[in-house]
Structure 1
Amino acid sequence: MEGGPDGFLAAEPDLPALARELGIADRLVDQLARGAAVWTGSRFEPLAEGSAAALLGIEVRGEDLGAGFRSFAGGMAVVVEALVARLGPAMRAAAGVSAISPSARGYRLTLPGGSAVDADGVILALPVFAAARLLAALGLSPARALGEVVYQPSVTVSLAYRSDQLGKPLEGTGFVAAAAAPGAVRACTYASAKYPGRAPAGHMLLRAFLAPSDGEPGALAHAELAPLLRITGAPLWTRAFHWPHGLPRYEAHHAARVAQVRERLARLAPIAIAGAGCDGAGVSACVRSGREAARLILRRMGGRAD
Protein backbone atom coordinates (compact mmCIF):
# COMPACT_ATOMS: atom_id res chain seq x y z
CA MET A 1 0.00 0.00 0.00
CA GLU A 2 1.46 3.30 -1.12
CA GLY A 3 0.80 6.76 0.27
CA GLY A 4 2.85 8.47 -2.43
CA PRO A 5 4.36 7.43 -5.78
CA ASP A 6 4.05 3.70 -6.47
CA GLY A 7 6.99 3.43 -8.86
CA PHE A 8 9.37 5.18 -11.23
CA LEU A 9 10.15 5.19 -14.94
CA ALA A 10 12.25 2.13 -15.78
CA ALA A 11 14.20 4.17 -18.36
CA GLU A 12 15.59 6.43 -15.65
CA PRO A 13 18.72 5.06 -13.92
CA ASP A 14 18.64 7.16 -10.74
CA LEU A 15 16.64 4.85 -8.45
CA PRO A 16 18.45 1.65 -9.48
CA ALA A 17 21.80 3.38 -8.86
CA LEU A 18 20.65 4.52 -5.43
CA ALA A 19 19.30 1.04 -4.70
CA ARG A 20 22.70 -0.48 -5.46
CA GLU A 21 24.40 1.95 -3.10
CA LEU A 22 21.91 1.11 -0.35
CA GLY A 23 22.11 -2.65 -0.89
CA ILE A 24 18.47 -3.05 -1.94
CA ALA A 25 18.88 -3.60 -5.69
CA ASP A 26 17.68 -7.18 -5.25
CA ARG A 27 14.29 -5.78 -4.23
CA LEU A 28 13.64 -4.02 -7.54
CA VAL A 29 10.60 -5.40 -9.38
CA ASP A 30 9.33 -4.87 -12.91
CA GLN A 31 5.85 -3.86 -13.92
CA LEU A 32 3.57 -6.86 -14.51
CA ALA A 33 0.73 -5.34 -16.51
CA ARG A 34 0.82 -2.68 -19.23
CA GLY A 35 -1.79 -0.41 -20.73
CA ALA A 36 -4.62 1.64 -19.29
CA ALA A 37 -8.18 2.66 -20.13
CA VAL A 38 -10.27 5.80 -19.96
CA TRP A 39 -13.67 5.83 -18.27
CA THR A 40 -15.89 8.04 -20.42
CA GLY A 41 -18.77 8.08 -17.96
CA SER A 42 -20.54 5.20 -19.70
CA ARG A 43 -17.84 2.76 -20.83
CA PHE A 44 -14.13 1.91 -20.74
CA GLU A 45 -12.04 2.65 -23.82
CA PRO A 46 -8.38 1.69 -24.33
CA LEU A 47 -5.77 4.43 -24.10
CA ALA A 48 -2.62 4.81 -26.14
CA GLU A 49 0.49 4.39 -24.00
CA GLY A 50 1.37 7.68 -22.35
CA SER A 51 -2.12 9.14 -22.69
CA ALA A 52 -3.01 8.35 -19.08
CA ALA A 53 -0.15 10.51 -17.82
CA ALA A 54 -1.19 13.33 -20.14
CA LEU A 55 -4.80 13.18 -18.91
CA LEU A 56 -3.54 13.48 -15.34
CA GLY A 57 -1.37 16.47 -16.24
CA ILE A 58 1.90 14.56 -15.75
CA GLU A 59 4.70 15.38 -18.18
CA VAL A 60 6.54 12.26 -19.35
CA ARG A 61 8.75 11.99 -22.42
CA GLY A 62 7.47 9.49 -24.95
CA GLU A 63 10.83 7.71 -25.19
CA ASP A 64 10.76 7.07 -21.43
CA LEU A 65 7.35 5.39 -21.49
CA GLY A 66 8.37 2.50 -23.71
CA ALA A 67 10.32 0.81 -20.92
CA GLY A 68 7.38 1.02 -18.51
CA PHE A 69 7.75 1.40 -14.76
CA ARG A 70 9.59 -0.32 -11.91
CA SER A 71 9.16 -0.38 -8.16
CA PHE A 72 10.39 -2.27 -5.12
CA ALA A 73 9.14 -5.44 -3.49
CA GLY A 74 7.50 -4.16 -0.34
CA GLY A 75 6.75 -0.78 -1.89
CA MET A 76 8.63 2.45 -2.44
CA ALA A 77 8.98 2.94 1.32
CA VAL A 78 11.90 0.49 1.32
CA VAL A 79 14.07 3.27 -0.17
CA VAL A 80 13.28 5.60 2.72
CA GLU A 81 13.79 2.80 5.24
CA ALA A 82 17.20 1.98 3.75
CA LEU A 83 18.24 5.64 3.80
CA VAL A 84 17.19 5.97 7.44
CA ALA A 85 19.14 2.83 8.34
CA ARG A 86 22.22 4.14 6.52
CA LEU A 87 22.08 7.49 8.34
CA GLY A 88 21.62 5.88 11.75
CA PRO A 89 21.77 8.18 14.79
CA ALA A 90 22.91 11.11 12.62
CA MET A 91 19.29 11.54 11.55
CA ARG A 92 16.98 13.55 13.81
CA ALA A 93 13.37 12.70 13.09
CA ALA A 94 10.52 15.08 13.93
CA ALA A 95 12.93 17.94 14.59
CA GLY A 96 11.69 20.91 12.59
CA VAL A 97 13.75 24.02 11.84
CA SER A 98 12.03 27.31 12.57
CA ALA A 99 14.82 29.65 11.41
CA ILE A 100 18.26 29.75 9.79
CA SER A 101 20.80 32.45 10.59
CA PRO A 102 24.46 32.99 9.64
CA SER A 103 27.09 31.94 12.18
CA ALA A 104 30.87 31.85 12.43
CA ARG A 105 30.80 28.17 11.48
CA GLY A 106 28.29 28.57 8.67
CA TYR A 107 24.70 28.50 9.87
CA ARG A 108 22.75 28.20 13.07
CA LEU A 109 19.51 26.22 12.79
CA THR A 110 16.93 27.20 15.39
CA LEU A 111 14.65 24.37 16.46
CA PRO A 112 11.20 24.66 18.03
CA GLY A 113 11.59 25.17 21.76
CA GLY A 114 14.63 27.41 21.39
CA SER A 115 17.47 24.90 20.99
CA ALA A 116 19.88 25.26 18.07
CA VAL A 117 22.26 23.27 15.88
CA ASP A 118 25.36 24.68 14.18
CA ALA A 119 26.12 23.46 10.66
CA ASP A 120 28.92 23.93 8.13
CA GLY A 121 26.49 23.57 5.23
CA VAL A 122 22.74 23.26 4.70
CA ILE A 123 20.52 21.59 2.08
CA LEU A 124 16.88 22.67 2.11
CA ALA A 125 15.05 19.64 0.69
CA LEU A 126 11.67 21.19 1.46
CA PRO A 127 8.50 22.25 -0.31
CA VAL A 128 9.54 25.53 -1.88
CA PHE A 129 7.03 27.60 0.09
CA ALA A 130 8.74 26.44 3.30
CA ALA A 131 12.22 26.96 1.86
CA ALA A 132 11.21 30.45 0.70
CA ARG A 133 10.29 31.49 4.25
CA LEU A 134 13.63 30.34 5.65
CA LEU A 135 15.65 31.92 2.85
CA ALA A 136 13.81 35.23 3.02
CA ALA A 137 15.10 35.59 6.59
CA LEU A 138 18.64 35.38 5.16
CA GLY A 139 17.90 38.40 2.99
CA LEU A 140 17.24 36.50 -0.25
CA SER A 141 14.33 38.49 -1.62
CA PRO A 142 14.21 36.43 -4.89
CA ALA A 143 13.35 33.38 -2.78
CA ARG A 144 9.92 34.84 -2.07
CA ALA A 145 8.94 34.11 -5.67
CA LEU A 146 9.41 30.39 -5.00
CA GLY A 147 6.57 30.63 -2.51
CA GLU A 148 4.24 31.28 -5.44
CA VAL A 149 4.61 27.72 -6.77
CA VAL A 150 1.17 26.10 -6.62
CA TYR A 151 0.94 22.63 -5.12
CA GLN A 152 -2.01 20.52 -6.26
CA PRO A 153 -3.74 18.67 -3.40
CA SER A 154 -3.79 14.89 -3.61
CA VAL A 155 -6.25 12.42 -2.10
CA THR A 156 -5.69 8.70 -2.62
CA VAL A 157 -7.52 5.71 -1.20
CA SER A 158 -6.25 2.12 -1.10
CA LEU A 159 -9.04 -0.48 -1.05
CA ALA A 160 -8.62 -4.23 -0.43
CA TYR A 161 -11.05 -6.87 -1.71
CA ARG A 162 -11.21 -10.61 -2.19
CA SER A 163 -10.68 -11.44 -5.86
CA ASP A 164 -14.14 -13.01 -6.08
CA GLN A 165 -15.71 -9.67 -5.13
CA LEU A 166 -14.72 -8.16 -8.49
CA GLY A 167 -17.00 -9.14 -11.35
CA LYS A 168 -15.03 -7.27 -14.03
CA PRO A 169 -11.66 -8.68 -15.15
CA LEU A 170 -8.97 -6.11 -14.44
CA GLU A 171 -7.13 -5.38 -17.68
CA GLY A 172 -3.95 -3.33 -17.73
CA THR A 173 -2.74 -1.14 -14.89
CA GLY A 174 -5.92 0.87 -14.27
CA PHE A 175 -8.03 3.65 -15.71
CA VAL A 176 -8.29 7.43 -15.88
CA ALA A 177 -11.64 9.23 -15.83
CA ALA A 178 -12.30 11.58 -18.73
CA ALA A 179 -12.64 15.24 -17.77
CA ALA A 180 -16.36 15.16 -18.56
CA ALA A 181 -17.01 11.97 -16.58
CA PRO A 182 -18.95 12.58 -13.36
CA GLY A 183 -17.74 11.57 -9.92
CA ALA A 184 -14.88 12.18 -7.52
CA VAL A 185 -12.69 9.26 -8.66
CA ARG A 186 -10.37 10.67 -11.34
CA ALA A 187 -8.18 7.59 -11.73
CA CYS A 188 -7.69 4.11 -10.32
CA THR A 189 -4.61 1.88 -10.29
CA TYR A 190 -4.98 -1.89 -10.08
CA ALA A 191 -2.08 -2.00 -7.64
CA SER A 192 -1.92 -5.77 -7.17
CA ALA A 193 -2.01 -6.33 -10.95
CA LYS A 194 0.61 -3.67 -11.65
CA TYR A 195 3.43 -4.91 -9.40
CA PRO A 196 4.10 -8.26 -7.69
CA GLY A 197 3.66 -8.70 -3.96
CA ARG A 198 1.03 -6.02 -3.44
CA ALA A 199 -1.71 -8.38 -2.19
CA PRO A 200 -1.96 -11.98 -0.90
CA ALA A 201 -3.19 -14.71 -3.23
CA GLY A 202 -6.93 -14.48 -3.78
CA HIS A 203 -7.07 -10.77 -3.03
CA MET A 204 -6.93 -7.50 -4.97
CA LEU A 205 -5.62 -4.08 -4.00
CA LEU A 206 -6.96 -0.99 -5.77
CA ARG A 207 -5.79 2.58 -5.42
CA ALA A 208 -8.20 5.40 -6.26
CA PHE A 209 -7.22 9.02 -6.90
CA LEU A 210 -9.95 11.45 -5.85
CA ALA A 211 -10.72 15.06 -6.58
CA PRO A 212 -11.21 17.10 -3.37
CA SER A 213 -14.71 16.18 -2.20
CA ASP A 214 -16.94 16.16 0.84
CA GLY A 215 -17.48 12.94 2.74
CA GLU A 216 -15.30 10.04 3.86
CA PRO A 217 -12.83 9.23 1.04
CA GLY A 218 -12.89 5.45 1.51
CA ALA A 219 -16.68 5.21 1.37
CA LEU A 220 -16.81 7.58 -1.58
CA ALA A 221 -14.19 5.67 -3.56
CA HIS A 222 -15.91 2.32 -2.95
CA ALA A 223 -19.32 3.70 -3.88
CA GLU A 224 -18.02 4.96 -7.23
CA LEU A 225 -15.77 2.00 -8.06
CA ALA A 226 -18.36 -0.68 -7.20
CA PRO A 227 -20.57 -0.22 -10.29
CA LEU A 228 -17.60 0.38 -12.62
CA LEU A 229 -15.72 -2.79 -11.63
CA ARG A 230 -18.83 -4.78 -10.63
CA ILE A 231 -17.69 -5.09 -7.02
CA THR A 232 -19.96 -6.95 -4.60
CA GLY A 233 -19.88 -6.44 -0.86
CA ALA A 234 -17.82 -4.03 1.23
CA PRO A 235 -14.04 -3.66 1.03
CA LEU A 236 -12.01 -5.62 3.55
CA TRP A 237 -10.39 -2.34 4.53
CA THR A 238 -9.63 1.11 3.16
CA ARG A 239 -6.85 3.61 3.88
CA ALA A 240 -6.93 7.23 2.74
CA PHE A 241 -3.97 9.57 2.28
CA HIS A 242 -4.57 13.32 2.00
CA TRP A 243 -1.72 15.58 0.90
CA PRO A 244 -2.83 19.24 0.93
CA HIS A 245 0.41 20.08 -0.90
CA GLY A 246 0.87 17.27 -3.41
CA LEU A 247 2.40 17.77 -6.85
CA PRO A 248 3.93 21.17 -7.65
CA ARG A 249 2.76 22.89 -10.83
CA TYR A 250 5.33 25.11 -12.49
CA GLU A 251 4.88 28.29 -14.49
CA ALA A 252 6.93 28.94 -17.62
CA HIS A 253 9.49 31.07 -15.79
CA HIS A 254 9.96 28.66 -12.86
CA ALA A 255 13.40 27.41 -13.94
CA ALA A 256 14.68 30.98 -14.27
CA ARG A 257 13.46 31.81 -10.77
CA VAL A 258 15.18 28.76 -9.30
CA ALA A 259 18.39 29.64 -11.13
CA GLN A 260 18.24 33.20 -9.77
CA VAL A 261 17.86 31.94 -6.21
CA ARG A 262 20.74 29.50 -6.65
CA GLU A 263 22.95 32.26 -8.02
CA ARG A 264 22.29 34.28 -4.87
CA LEU A 265 22.89 31.26 -2.64
CA ALA A 266 26.32 30.81 -4.23
CA ARG A 267 27.40 34.08 -2.58
CA LEU A 268 26.65 32.74 0.91
CA ALA A 269 28.20 30.07 3.09
CA PRO A 270 27.43 26.58 1.67
CA ILE A 271 23.66 26.26 1.29
CA ALA A 272 21.52 24.64 -1.43
CA ILE A 273 17.90 23.97 -2.33
CA ALA A 274 16.62 20.68 -3.72
CA GLY A 275 13.47 18.67 -4.27
CA ALA A 276 10.28 18.43 -6.28
CA GLY A 277 9.48 22.11 -6.01
CA CYS A 278 12.79 23.01 -7.67
CA ASP A 279 13.74 20.42 -10.26
CA GLY A 280 10.78 18.17 -11.09
CA ALA A 281 8.17 16.16 -9.25
CA GLY A 282 9.15 12.61 -10.26
CA VAL A 283 10.99 10.37 -7.81
CA SER A 284 13.99 10.13 -10.13
CA ALA A 285 14.08 13.92 -10.52
CA CYS A 286 14.13 14.26 -6.73
CA VAL A 287 17.05 11.83 -6.45
CA ARG A 288 18.99 13.78 -9.10
CA SER A 289 18.19 17.08 -7.40
CA GLY A 290 19.34 15.80 -4.01
CA ARG A 291 22.56 14.35 -5.39
CA GLU A 292 23.47 17.58 -7.17
CA ALA A 293 22.78 19.60 -4.02
CA ALA A 294 24.99 17.25 -1.98
CA ARG A 295 27.81 17.47 -4.54
CA LEU A 296 27.56 21.26 -4.54
CA ILE A 297 27.83 21.48 -0.76
CA LEU A 298 30.75 19.04 -0.66
CA ARG A 299 32.63 20.98 -3.34
CA ARG A 300 32.12 24.25 -1.53
CA MET A 301 33.29 22.71 1.73
CA GLY A 302 36.41 21.35 0.06
CA GLY A 303 35.42 17.71 0.14
CA ARG A 304 35.08 15.05 -2.54
CA ALA A 305 31.92 15.39 -4.61
CA ASP A 306 31.87 12.01 -6.36
Structure 2
Amino acid sequence: MADFSRRRFLRAASVVSGGALCGVLPGLPRAQTEPAFDFDISLAQWSLNKAFFDRSLSPLDFPAVARTSFDIGAVEYVNQFFMDKARDKKFLQELKSRASDHNVKSLLIMVDGEGDLSTSDEARRRQSVENHYKWVEAAHQLGCHSIRVNLHGVGSAEAWHKASVNSLLELAEFSKPMDIKILVENHGGYSSHGAKLAAVLQEANSPYCGSMPDFGNFCYQRASGDLWDSPCVKQYDIYQGVADLMPYAGAISAKTFRFDEQGNEPDIDYRRIFELVKASHYSGYVGIEYEGHELPADEGIRATKRLLEKVRSELSAQDSAV
Protein backbone atom coordinates (compact mmCIF):
# COMPACT_ATOMS: atom_id res chain seq x y z
CA MET A 1 0.00 0.00 0.00
CA ALA A 2 1.31 3.45 -0.85
CA ASP A 3 2.43 5.60 2.09
CA PHE A 4 0.16 8.63 2.24
CA SER A 5 1.76 10.30 5.24
CA ARG A 6 2.02 14.06 5.21
CA ARG A 7 5.78 13.64 5.68
CA ARG A 8 5.99 11.74 2.40
CA PHE A 9 3.90 14.37 0.60
CA LEU A 10 6.24 17.09 1.79
CA ARG A 11 9.36 15.14 0.89
CA ALA A 12 8.04 14.26 -2.54
CA ALA A 13 6.91 17.80 -3.28
CA SER A 14 10.33 19.15 -2.49
CA VAL A 15 11.99 17.10 -5.23
CA VAL A 16 9.49 17.33 -8.07
CA SER A 17 10.59 20.35 -10.05
CA GLY A 18 7.84 22.48 -11.47
CA GLY A 19 5.13 20.65 -9.47
CA ALA A 20 2.52 22.31 -7.31
CA LEU A 21 4.35 22.19 -3.98
CA CYS A 22 2.45 21.46 -0.80
CA GLY A 23 5.25 22.54 1.52
CA VAL A 24 8.92 21.91 2.27
CA LEU A 25 10.47 21.01 5.60
CA PRO A 26 13.70 23.02 6.03
CA GLY A 27 16.70 20.87 6.74
CA LEU A 28 14.93 17.55 6.16
CA PRO A 29 17.78 15.01 6.21
CA ARG A 30 18.27 12.81 3.17
CA ALA A 31 19.07 9.14 3.42
CA GLN A 32 22.75 8.39 2.94
CA THR A 33 21.93 5.79 0.30
CA GLU A 34 18.80 5.76 -1.82
CA PRO A 35 17.32 2.39 -2.78
CA ALA A 36 17.42 1.47 -6.45
CA PHE A 37 14.38 2.66 -8.37
CA ASP A 38 11.66 0.04 -8.47
CA PHE A 39 7.92 -0.41 -8.78
CA ASP A 40 5.48 -3.27 -9.20
CA ILE A 41 3.14 -3.62 -12.17
CA SER A 42 -0.62 -4.05 -11.93
CA LEU A 43 -3.36 -4.45 -14.53
CA ALA A 44 -6.32 -2.09 -14.87
CA GLN A 45 -9.54 -3.88 -15.74
CA TRP A 46 -10.29 -1.18 -18.30
CA SER A 47 -7.55 -2.60 -20.55
CA LEU A 48 -9.97 -5.45 -21.30
CA ASN A 49 -13.09 -3.29 -21.38
CA LYS A 50 -14.45 -4.66 -24.66
CA ALA A 51 -14.45 -8.22 -23.35
CA PHE A 52 -16.16 -7.17 -20.14
CA PHE A 53 -18.74 -5.02 -21.90
CA ASP A 54 -19.71 -7.78 -24.34
CA ARG A 55 -19.62 -10.29 -21.47
CA SER A 56 -17.21 -12.64 -23.19
CA LEU A 57 -15.21 -12.25 -19.99
CA SER A 58 -16.73 -12.39 -16.50
CA PRO A 59 -15.58 -9.90 -13.84
CA LEU A 60 -14.99 -12.88 -11.56
CA ASP A 61 -12.37 -14.19 -13.98
CA PHE A 62 -10.30 -11.00 -14.04
CA PRO A 63 -7.74 -11.98 -11.35
CA ALA A 64 -7.15 -15.34 -13.06
CA VAL A 65 -6.68 -13.67 -16.44
CA ALA A 66 -4.21 -11.17 -14.97
CA ARG A 67 -2.10 -13.97 -13.55
CA THR A 68 -2.38 -16.71 -16.15
CA SER A 69 -2.41 -14.60 -19.33
CA PHE A 70 -0.04 -11.79 -18.33
CA ASP A 71 1.80 -12.97 -15.18
CA ILE A 72 0.63 -9.87 -13.33
CA GLY A 73 -0.03 -10.20 -9.61
CA ALA A 74 -2.14 -7.13 -8.82
CA VAL A 75 -5.34 -5.71 -10.30
CA GLU A 76 -7.41 -2.54 -10.39
CA TYR A 77 -11.14 -3.07 -10.77
CA VAL A 78 -13.66 -0.88 -12.63
CA ASN A 79 -17.12 -0.67 -11.06
CA GLN A 80 -18.82 -0.33 -14.47
CA PHE A 81 -18.36 -4.08 -14.97
CA PHE A 82 -20.21 -5.00 -11.76
CA MET A 83 -22.37 -1.94 -11.03
CA ASP A 84 -25.06 -3.94 -9.25
CA LYS A 85 -22.64 -5.90 -7.04
CA ALA A 86 -21.34 -3.24 -4.63
CA ARG A 87 -23.44 -4.64 -1.78
CA ASP A 88 -23.44 -8.24 -2.99
CA LYS A 89 -21.27 -9.81 -0.30
CA LYS A 90 -21.39 -13.24 -1.93
CA PHE A 91 -20.07 -11.84 -5.24
CA LEU A 92 -17.38 -9.80 -3.53
CA GLN A 93 -16.24 -12.74 -1.42
CA GLU A 94 -16.05 -14.94 -4.51
CA LEU A 95 -13.99 -12.28 -6.33
CA LYS A 96 -11.70 -11.96 -3.31
CA SER A 97 -11.31 -15.74 -3.12
CA ARG A 98 -10.43 -16.04 -6.80
CA ALA A 99 -7.82 -13.30 -6.44
CA SER A 100 -6.35 -15.14 -3.47
CA ASP A 101 -6.38 -18.46 -5.34
CA HIS A 102 -4.14 -16.92 -8.02
CA ASN A 103 -1.98 -14.94 -5.59
CA VAL A 104 -3.29 -11.65 -6.99
CA LYS A 105 -3.60 -8.47 -4.92
CA SER A 106 -6.74 -6.35 -5.24
CA LEU A 107 -5.55 -2.74 -5.20
CA LEU A 108 -8.46 -0.42 -5.90
CA ILE A 109 -11.85 0.11 -7.52
CA MET A 110 -12.26 2.81 -10.17
CA VAL A 111 -15.69 4.31 -9.49
CA ASP A 112 -17.75 5.86 -12.29
CA GLY A 113 -21.42 6.66 -12.76
CA GLU A 114 -22.21 7.64 -9.19
CA GLY A 115 -23.01 11.31 -9.63
CA ASP A 116 -21.05 14.54 -9.61
CA LEU A 117 -18.78 15.04 -6.59
CA SER A 118 -17.76 18.50 -7.79
CA THR A 119 -21.15 20.07 -8.51
CA SER A 120 -22.13 23.29 -6.76
CA ASP A 121 -25.66 21.88 -6.35
CA GLU A 122 -25.35 20.87 -2.72
CA ALA A 123 -28.12 18.27 -2.74
CA ARG A 124 -26.67 16.53 -5.81
CA ARG A 125 -23.17 16.71 -4.38
CA ARG A 126 -24.22 15.15 -1.09
CA GLN A 127 -26.10 12.40 -2.91
CA SER A 128 -23.01 11.63 -4.98
CA VAL A 129 -20.88 11.40 -1.84
CA GLU A 130 -23.36 8.95 -0.34
CA ASN A 131 -23.45 6.98 -3.59
CA HIS A 132 -19.73 6.34 -3.20
CA TYR A 133 -20.01 4.92 0.31
CA LYS A 134 -20.96 1.46 -0.91
CA TRP A 135 -17.85 1.31 -3.09
CA VAL A 136 -15.65 2.23 -0.13
CA GLU A 137 -17.22 -0.68 1.72
CA ALA A 138 -16.79 -2.97 -1.29
CA ALA A 139 -13.12 -1.99 -1.59
CA HIS A 140 -12.67 -2.79 2.08
CA GLN A 141 -14.26 -6.21 1.67
CA LEU A 142 -12.02 -6.99 -1.32
CA GLY A 143 -8.90 -5.96 0.58
CA CYS A 144 -8.16 -2.91 -1.61
CA HIS A 145 -6.30 0.16 -0.39
CA SER A 146 -8.30 2.78 -2.34
CA ILE A 147 -11.14 3.78 -4.57
CA ARG A 148 -10.63 6.09 -7.55
CA VAL A 149 -13.17 8.91 -7.95
CA ASN A 150 -13.88 11.60 -10.56
CA LEU A 151 -13.93 15.37 -10.16
CA HIS A 152 -14.76 16.36 -13.75
CA GLY A 153 -16.34 19.73 -13.04
CA VAL A 154 -18.55 22.24 -14.79
CA GLY A 155 -19.22 25.92 -14.11
CA SER A 156 -16.62 28.12 -12.47
CA ALA A 157 -13.26 26.80 -11.38
CA GLU A 158 -13.78 28.34 -7.94
CA ALA A 159 -17.08 26.54 -7.35
CA TRP A 160 -15.58 23.29 -8.64
CA HIS A 161 -12.63 23.64 -6.29
CA LYS A 162 -14.78 24.23 -3.21
CA ALA A 163 -17.20 21.40 -3.95
CA SER A 164 -14.35 19.02 -4.75
CA VAL A 165 -12.55 19.69 -1.48
CA ASN A 166 -15.76 19.23 0.50
CA SER A 167 -16.57 15.93 -1.20
CA LEU A 168 -13.08 14.53 -0.74
CA LEU A 169 -13.04 15.38 2.96
CA GLU A 170 -16.49 13.90 3.51
CA LEU A 171 -15.52 10.70 1.72
CA ALA A 172 -12.24 10.54 3.64
CA GLU A 173 -14.09 10.87 6.94
CA PHE A 174 -16.27 7.91 5.96
CA SER A 175 -13.40 5.80 4.61
CA LYS A 176 -10.90 6.43 7.41
CA PRO A 177 -12.16 3.68 9.78
CA MET A 178 -11.78 1.18 6.92
CA ASP A 179 -8.34 2.53 5.96
CA ILE A 180 -9.47 3.16 2.38
CA LYS A 181 -7.91 6.05 0.47
CA ILE A 182 -9.81 8.34 -1.92
CA LEU A 183 -7.77 8.87 -5.09
CA VAL A 184 -8.63 11.37 -7.83
CA GLU A 185 -7.62 10.68 -11.41
CA ASN A 186 -7.05 13.42 -13.94
CA HIS A 187 -10.08 12.29 -15.90
CA GLY A 188 -11.54 15.15 -17.92
CA GLY A 189 -12.70 18.68 -17.25
CA TYR A 190 -10.97 20.66 -14.50
CA SER A 191 -9.51 17.44 -13.07
CA SER A 192 -7.26 17.17 -16.14
CA HIS A 193 -5.63 20.51 -15.32
CA GLY A 194 -2.74 19.34 -13.17
CA ALA A 195 -2.26 22.52 -11.15
CA LYS A 196 -5.97 22.87 -10.39
CA LEU A 197 -6.31 19.28 -9.20
CA ALA A 198 -3.12 19.57 -7.12
CA ALA A 199 -4.56 22.70 -5.47
CA VAL A 200 -7.68 20.74 -4.48
CA LEU A 201 -5.57 17.99 -2.90
CA GLN A 202 -3.34 20.52 -1.20
CA GLU A 203 -6.32 22.20 0.45
CA ALA A 204 -7.92 18.87 1.40
CA ASN A 205 -4.63 18.09 3.14
CA SER A 206 -5.74 14.62 4.24
CA PRO A 207 -3.69 11.41 4.40
CA TYR A 208 -6.83 9.72 3.08
CA CYS A 209 -6.98 11.83 -0.10
CA GLY A 210 -4.58 11.48 -3.00
CA SER A 211 -4.11 11.42 -6.75
CA MET A 212 -3.95 8.76 -9.43
CA PRO A 213 -1.97 10.34 -12.27
CA ASP A 214 -2.95 9.04 -15.70
CA PHE A 215 -0.40 9.70 -18.44
CA GLY A 216 -3.05 10.08 -21.15
CA ASN A 217 -5.79 12.26 -19.63
CA PHE A 218 -4.61 15.85 -19.65
CA CYS A 219 -7.09 17.39 -22.09
CA TYR A 220 -9.08 19.79 -19.91
CA GLN A 221 -11.28 21.42 -22.55
CA ARG A 222 -12.90 20.01 -25.69
CA ALA A 223 -14.56 21.76 -28.60
CA SER A 224 -18.11 20.77 -27.65
CA GLY A 225 -17.63 20.99 -23.90
CA ASP A 226 -17.85 17.20 -23.52
CA LEU A 227 -15.42 14.95 -21.67
CA TRP A 228 -14.18 12.56 -24.33
CA ASP A 229 -15.55 12.76 -27.88
CA SER A 230 -14.93 16.14 -29.52
CA PRO A 231 -11.47 17.48 -30.44
CA CYS A 232 -9.25 18.71 -27.63
CA VAL A 233 -8.78 22.48 -27.66
CA LYS A 234 -6.86 22.93 -24.38
CA GLN A 235 -4.25 20.35 -23.40
CA TYR A 236 -2.27 20.52 -20.17
CA ASP A 237 1.38 19.52 -20.55
CA ILE A 238 1.49 15.86 -19.55
CA TYR A 239 4.93 16.04 -17.94
CA GLN A 240 4.01 19.10 -15.91
CA GLY A 241 0.76 17.38 -15.00
CA VAL A 242 2.54 14.28 -13.73
CA ALA A 243 4.94 16.50 -11.76
CA ASP A 244 1.99 18.36 -10.25
CA LEU A 245 0.21 15.19 -9.13
CA MET A 246 3.02 12.86 -8.07
CA PRO A 247 3.42 14.40 -4.59
CA TYR A 248 -0.07 13.07 -3.82
CA ALA A 249 0.05 9.81 -5.79
CA GLY A 250 -1.38 6.64 -4.33
CA ALA A 251 -1.56 4.86 -7.68
CA ILE A 252 -0.43 5.48 -11.27
CA SER A 253 -2.21 4.70 -14.52
CA ALA A 254 0.28 3.94 -17.30
CA LYS A 255 -1.83 4.78 -20.35
CA THR A 256 -0.74 3.57 -23.77
CA PHE A 257 -2.34 3.89 -27.20
CA ARG A 258 0.23 2.69 -29.75
CA PHE A 259 3.83 1.54 -30.06
CA ASP A 260 6.69 2.17 -32.48
CA GLU A 261 9.13 -0.44 -33.78
CA GLN A 262 11.28 -0.06 -30.65
CA GLY A 263 8.31 -0.74 -28.39
CA ASN A 264 8.03 2.85 -27.19
CA GLU A 265 4.82 4.87 -26.91
CA PRO A 266 5.57 7.53 -29.57
CA ASP A 267 3.25 10.14 -28.04
CA ILE A 268 4.35 9.72 -24.42
CA ASP A 269 8.01 9.82 -23.39
CA TYR A 270 7.93 7.06 -20.79
CA ARG A 271 11.56 7.62 -19.78
CA ARG A 272 10.82 11.27 -19.05
CA ILE A 273 7.62 10.39 -17.20
CA PHE A 274 9.37 7.88 -14.98
CA GLU A 275 12.19 10.27 -14.19
CA LEU A 276 9.43 12.32 -12.54
CA VAL A 277 7.99 9.26 -10.83
CA LYS A 278 11.45 8.39 -9.55
CA ALA A 279 12.05 11.92 -8.29
CA SER A 280 8.85 11.75 -6.23
CA HIS A 281 10.06 8.63 -4.39
CA TYR A 282 6.87 6.83 -5.34
CA SER A 283 6.91 3.19 -4.26
CA GLY A 284 3.47 1.83 -5.18
CA TYR A 285 2.10 -0.01 -8.19
CA VAL A 286 1.97 1.22 -11.78
CA GLY A 287 -1.18 0.04 -13.53
CA ILE A 288 -1.28 -0.96 -17.20
CA GLU A 289 -4.16 0.76 -19.00
CA TYR A 290 -3.99 0.03 -22.71
CA GLU A 291 -6.55 1.96 -24.76
CA GLY A 292 -5.24 1.55 -28.26
CA HIS A 293 -6.88 0.18 -31.40
CA GLU A 294 -3.87 -0.90 -33.47
CA LEU A 295 -3.23 -3.98 -31.34
CA PRO A 296 -5.70 -6.40 -29.74
CA ALA A 297 -6.10 -5.84 -26.02
CA ASP A 298 -3.93 -8.78 -24.98
CA GLU A 299 -1.06 -7.70 -27.24
CA GLY A 300 -1.37 -4.08 -26.11
CA ILE A 301 -1.20 -5.15 -22.47
CA ARG A 302 1.92 -7.21 -23.11
CA ALA A 303 3.54 -4.38 -25.07
CA THR A 304 2.83 -1.95 -22.22
CA LYS A 305 4.26 -4.38 -19.70
CA ARG A 306 7.45 -4.73 -21.75
CA LEU A 307 7.76 -0.95 -21.96
CA LEU A 308 7.36 -0.55 -18.20
CA GLU A 309 9.89 -3.29 -17.53
CA LYS A 310 12.36 -1.66 -19.92
CA VAL A 311 12.08 1.76 -18.32
CA ARG A 312 12.27 0.28 -14.83
CA SER A 313 15.39 -1.64 -15.77
CA GLU A 314 17.05 1.39 -17.34
CA LEU A 315 16.44 3.63 -14.34
CA SER A 316 17.48 0.92 -11.89
CA ALA A 317 20.70 0.40 -13.84
CA GLN A 318 21.27 4.15 -13.75
CA ASP A 319 21.12 4.01 -9.95
CA SER A 320 23.57 1.12 -9.84
CA ALA A 321 26.05 3.01 -12.00
CA VAL A 322 26.13 6.01 -9.68
TM-score in terms of structure 1 length: 0.24
Select the structure that is richer in helix.
Answer: 2
Structure of higher CA gyration radius: 1
TM-score in terms of structure 2 length: 0.23
